[in-house]
Every structure is written in structure tokens, then in C-alpha cells.
Structure 1
Amino acid sequence: MTTSPSAPPSNRIALYRFLGPRFWPIWLGLGLVRAVNVLPLRAQLAVGRALGRLAHRFARRDKRIAAINIDMCLPGLSATERDELVREHFESLGCTLLETGLVWWASDARLRRLIQFEGEEHLQTALAKGRGALMLSAHFTTLEMGARALTLLGPTSVMYLTPSNPLIAELSRRNREKHTAQAVTSEQIRELLQNLKSNLPVWYAPDQRYTGKNSELVPFFGVPAASNVATSRLAKISGAPVLPYFPERRADNTGYTIVIHPPLADFPSGDPVADTRRFHELIEDHARRNPAQYLWTYKRFKRPDDDPYRRR
């Protein structure tokens, strides 16, 4: 049976502290997102893509990063195909902005009408073992929707990075707390393990650049990338099954498909680098299926001794 750990005090910051002029553009943007959320999903995504096309015209730095990443990861594309993928990616980012409103404010009933799960039985079988389930996800533009979707299947914990903007950080924390059994930061490893011990599924996306403890260079699309290889250690300590978990925005704009894969066999293998490479290959396969939805605007391959974004 799944049990929920008692959540620690939230240490909320009063929102009146964010009423200064520096936060006005964010409040204005959130007001727009909230207003658009009353529209049907097709209309919301149309607005999101329009915003993405507008951002594409002005976001020179992010366009450059996306183009470099795509060139490194998908070298078989022509220059025209790469430019088109960058444009489509910005449209996907615009959809992500408006989906934040659905993730934060939509009812469970509304989301159930929009989300279709594939492989839900794999999660139920994993939880029947009583050791929780480590839901191994990745940074696609549907990332936040995927995390919220998991809460529709029962009490869930999520691990997240704290946003740098303090207002966004506070609102994100409040809304994660509202929908999850517990939301833990990337520093709260003990809480993550306790949630697994309490037989909760834990949403976990360790695929971003990482240069701290448990960091190794692991190929990603054939390119060496500083990666977090701690997933193997977490699986070994907890005994929790590790299930790859990938959300995607459907091409017909009618909703989302969430794919829950079977638990990884022989995981951990005793070789954390090989285990991480195995996960990277799953991300690569999914990114090739939905290339516009992968997060290309992030400096995934930057390292202290090598910065391809500066050289190019």
C-alpha cells in the first residue's frame, strides 16, 4: 500500500514581498497565462506557438545555443532542417509557458481528459513490491506537465531544481506542494529515499549538466557530457525499481501521451557510467521521435575545461 510521508513545514514566503516593480513583468505574464487557461487546449497551444515564434525573432542567444546543440546532436540535418527545428523548438517552448498554468491551476478532472497513459500497469506492478518507484524522466518541454500528470495516478513525490527567480521559485514550490505528497529539492536526498521507502513514486530528472560529486563524462548523442551518475546509487540504496517516464505533446494538439516504460532490468548493473549511458540512449530515442520537444536551449555540453558554446 502507498503511504504519504508527513510533509515538512513549507517555509512559505509571503507574496507581498514580490510586489516591487522588478516583479511586475512576471505578474503580468502570469495574469496572461491564467487568462488563456480558460480556453480549450487547442487555442491555448496556438497562442503558445505564436508567443514562441515571437520569442524566436528576438532571443538571439538562445537560438544560437539551440542551433549548436542540434548541430552536435543531430549532425545529419541540413542547415535548413536545423533552422526549421530551432523554430519549431521555440514554438514548443511557447506551449510550455502556457502549460505552466495548466500544471499549476487546472483541476485533476480537466487534466484526466487531456492525458493518456501508456504502461500504467508497469507502475502498479512496481509499487506492489513496496519499495516505491524511481520515475526516471528528462528535460523535455513537457517536463512540468509530466510531473503533474504522475500525481493523477496517486500520491507522488517530485524532485526539482529551485528556479533562480525568487518569485517563480516561491510560486513553483507552492503549486508543487499543492499537488504532491512531497516536493523535495535536489539537495534533499534523504527525503527522496524516505519517499521511496514510503512506497511512493518519485519523479526524478537527472539529465542536465552536472559537475559535482557523482559526476562523470558520459556520451550523450555521441558527445561527452558531464552527467550525474547517482541514479544507480539511489536505486541500489533504496531497492526501488527504476522506470523510464516520458511525456509528449500530441501532434494533433488534443492533449498529452505519457509513456511509462517497464522497470529497467539488471539496474543498477554495478557500473554507474554504463547505467547512465543506458538512460541517455532512451532519451536520445525519445528526442529523435519528438525533436522539437527536447530542451535544446540548455548548455548541456559545457564543462569547466571545454565550452563548445564559446568556440562556435
Structure 2
Amino acid sequence: MSVRLIPGHLTSWKPWYYRALIPALQRLGPERSDSVLEALGRLVALSPRRARKITARLADAREGLEADWDLDTARNALAGNLARFSARDCLLSGLSDEAALSRFDVTGAEHLDAAIGRGKGLILLGAHFGGYLAAMHWLIRRRVPLRMMLQRPRHVSEELTRWFNRAGTPDDPDGEARHPQSAFFLRRSMPAGEGVLRVLRARSALLEGLAVLIHGDVAWDSRCARPGRLLGRPVRVESAWADLAVVTGSPVLPIFCEHRRGGRFGLTIDPPRFLAPGGQQDAVDRYLARLDAAIAAAPAEAISHLLWPTDRLDRVAPRPSWDRSQVPRIPNPEAATG
């Protein structure tokens, strides 16, 4: 039996980063803290092993996307984003709503406002791109009536943690004591039927007028997955959002968030799309093409797609053919009521 001489929490970088460095950076203000994060990212990228990995992944992505970016420029920009990406939304913690929201340059907020104004549900389709956790932070600070069907993120701001714990409970800060957020979280390994229950809960939330955030780039080998291409490679991605859009008639609004200098974020909400029955595969293809375009325009924001150790683009092999009968049927409330 081996004995660990130094406790694991002391040898991991995460406690030091999130409990010591991030709180210290918050006291510097957004511009100075962002400069420190950029410098730290470039320092981390000097590791020969990491530098080789970044170069190889960027080269593969450039070929797969048929992009024309300069490899040295893209590598330098991605290195500068490494620590920014790891900071997640933590540097927004402790700010007032007004101060936090002022750090975002938002394009397309009118699409979200119009969709909410319908008084019906809507699907926000996110991705693990850029400041995706900061986008969640913006949504909860803006008091969007929201649930999130995704794996619960860790090492996030106090505000996001509190929302994850309280949304939909009697302690809900917005008074929405219905559809507890805890019942929407996904896990890679769930008991049989649990995934379907999440989808049915999302359907109920949409029919009651809530927004539901789902990530459309998650490699997933299940009946709720469909084939597609990302970064020039075949993938199978979780696509329950497309079935929910058809069944509930909810519009789909893709949402993207990029890091900007000075501790700012650029948030883009695309115009809504309504899916017709049978249009789910086309919708998945369109979304992945939209994500490809975002990565081609800003490869430094694609840290998760290029560097995450799960190597998610290769790990789930595509099936040779797509059998639509394998997609679980989501009950249509209109059909049920005649």
C-alpha cells in the first residue's frame, strides 16, 4: 500500500489557482488582472510538451477547417487565453449586477428579449467555446428565467454556484420555485432512463415558458446523439435540443462568448430558428457549421475543442449509418390532447 507523503490537494494546481491567485487578482481590477492572466498563459505555454501539443492541434484544425490563419499568430493568441479560460467566470464574482453586466459587449440581446417576450419557452444553444461560463453568468445576472441541461461545472463563481444550488427550490432568488436545477444536470454515466427523464423535464420547463440552455458540441454516444462534422472530423453530438425544439415549438438561439482584453467579454446571440419536424439532422449540421465558423474566426477561443485531455473529437467513433428509429420519442403535448 502506497502512502501519499503530500496531500493531493497541495500538489494540484487548482486549489492554489482558484483559492489564492484568483482572489488576489480580483483586487487588481479587470485590466491589470487580465494582463496577469495573459502573461501567465504565455508562461504556461512555454512548456515544450504543451507548445508541441498546441502547435499540432492548431495545425490539424487549420487543415480541417481549411482556414488561412497564421499558425504563429494563432498559437500566440491561444497561449494568452490559457489562464483566462481557466479563470472561468470567477473574476466576475462579488460584483454588483450592474458592474458584472457592464463587462460584456453584447450583440443580439434583442433576439433573446423578443423570444422571452413571447411568453413561451426557448432553447439557448451553447458550446464549450471561449468564455462559455461567463455567458452563463451573464444570463443569471440578467435574470433570464432559465434552466441548464448540462454537466455541472466546477470551480465557478460564487454567484453561479449559488444559482446552481438554489434555482427552482423554495430558496430560488427569483421566486421560481419549480423545476429544480439539480434535476437537470447530466452525467457521463447515469442509470438507465435518467437521461430520458432530463429530456422530459426540459420539455416541461419549455412548455411552461422557461429558457433551457443546452450545449450542442458534447460528444455523446447515445440515442439522443446525431452524426456531424466538427473541425473537419466526424463526430456524434448530443442533439436532444433539436428534438425538444420540434416537439415544443421552441425557438433555438445559439449563444457564443469570447474573451476580450481588459477582462471583458464579447457575447453574441444569434437570431432564433424554428425547426420543422424532420429537420433535426439539418439543424445539427447547421449548428456545427456555425461553431466551425466561430473557431475559424477565433481559434484562440477553442481551447476546449483543441486541448482538453478527453480528446473528445476522436473518442466517440461515428456509426456507419444513422437509424432515426433509435431516437427516443418525446411526447408531443398537442398530439396527446387531440
TM over 0.5: yes
Q: Residues 240-279 of structure 1 correspond to what in structure 2 (within 5 A)?
A: 240-250=250-260, 252-253=261-262, 255-265=264-274, 267-268=275-276, 270-279=278-287
Change (3 A) 1:74 1:145: same
By how many angstroms is 1:269 displaced? 5.1
Correspondence for 2:9: 23
Identity of aligned residues (%): 21
Correspondence for 1:283: 291
Change (3 A) 1:256 1:168: closer
Q: Does structure 2 retain, via aligned residues, the 8 Å contact 1:36–1:98?
A: no
Change (3 A) 1:145 1:305: closer
Letter matched to residue 101 of structure 1: C
**SS state of the match for residue 134, structure 1?**
strand
By how many angstroms is 1:104 displaced? 4.3
List per-residue Cα deviations over 1:250-283 (Å, max 9, x = no partner): 3x43622211111114x24514322111001111
Q: Does residue 1:35 correspond to 2:47, yes or no?
A: no
Q: Does residue 1:123 correspond to 2:132, yes or no?
A: no
User: What are the ranges of 5 or more consecutive residues in structure 2 without an aligned counterpart?
Assistant: 1-5, 169-180, 187-194, 319-338
> Quick check: which has more Rg, 1 or 2?
2
By how many angstroms is 1:149 displaced? 0.8
Correspondence for 2:146: 156
Distance of 2:114 and 2:106 partners within structure 1: 15
Distance of 1:268 and 1:61 partners within structure 2: 45
Distance of 1:178 and 1:104 partners within structure 2: 16
Correspondence for 1:137: 126
Change (3 A) 1:23 1:176: farther
Matched residues, number: 280
Q: Does structure 2 retain, via aligned residues, the 8 Å contact 1:218–1:276?
A: yes
Q: Does structure 2 retain, via aligned residues, the 8 Å contact 1:145–1:247?
A: yes
Q: Does residue 1:174 correspond to 2:161, yes or no?
A: yes
**SS state of the match for residue 185, structure 1?**
coil
2:227 to 217, 221, 231: 217
Distance of 2:119 and 2:48 partners within structure 1: 47
Distance of 1:73 and 1:269 partners within structure 2: 33
**SS state of the match for residue 263, structure 1?**
coil
Q: Does structure 2 retain, via aligned residues, the 8 Å contact 1:220–1:277?
A: no
Q: Does residue 1:197 correspond to 2:183, yes or no?
A: no
Q: Does structure 2 retain, via aligned residues, the 8 Å contact 1:132–1:200?
A: yes
* 273-282 vs 210-219, greater mean Cα deviation: 210-219
Letter matched to residue 234 of structure 1: L
Stretches (4+) displaced over 4 A: 167-173, 178-181
Distance of 1:63 and 1:156 partners within structure 2: 41
List per-residue Cα deviations over 1:203-249 (Å, max 9, x = no partner): 22120222222223312233212222322111123221101111122
Distance of 1:126 and 1:55 partners within structure 2: 42
Q: Does residue 1:70 correspond to 2:82, yes or no?
A: no
Distance of 1:69 and 1:293 partners within structure 2: 13
By how many angstroms is 1:27 displaced? 2.8
**SS state of the match for residue 307, structure 2?**
coil
Distance of 1:269 and 1:69 partners within structure 2: 37
* 69-78 vs 170-179, greater mean Cα deviation: 170-179
Change (3 A) 1:141 1:304: closer
Distance of 2:231 and 2:219 partners within structure 1: 14
How large is the RMSD of aligned CA atoms in angstroms? Answer: 3.1
By how many angstroms is 1:284 displaced? 1.6
Change (3 A) 1:170 1:282: closer
Q: Does residue 1:54 correspond to 2:33, yes or no?
A: no
**SS state of the match for residue 243, structure 2?**
helix
User: What are the ranges of 5 or more consecutive residues in structure 1 without an aligned counterpart?
Assistant: 1-19, 307-312
Letter matched to residue 270 of structure 2: H
* 296-305 vs 134-143, greater mean Cα deviation: 296-305
Distance of 1:268 and 1:303 partners within structure 2: 31
Correspondence for 1:185: 185
**SS state of the match for residue 39, structure 1?**
coil
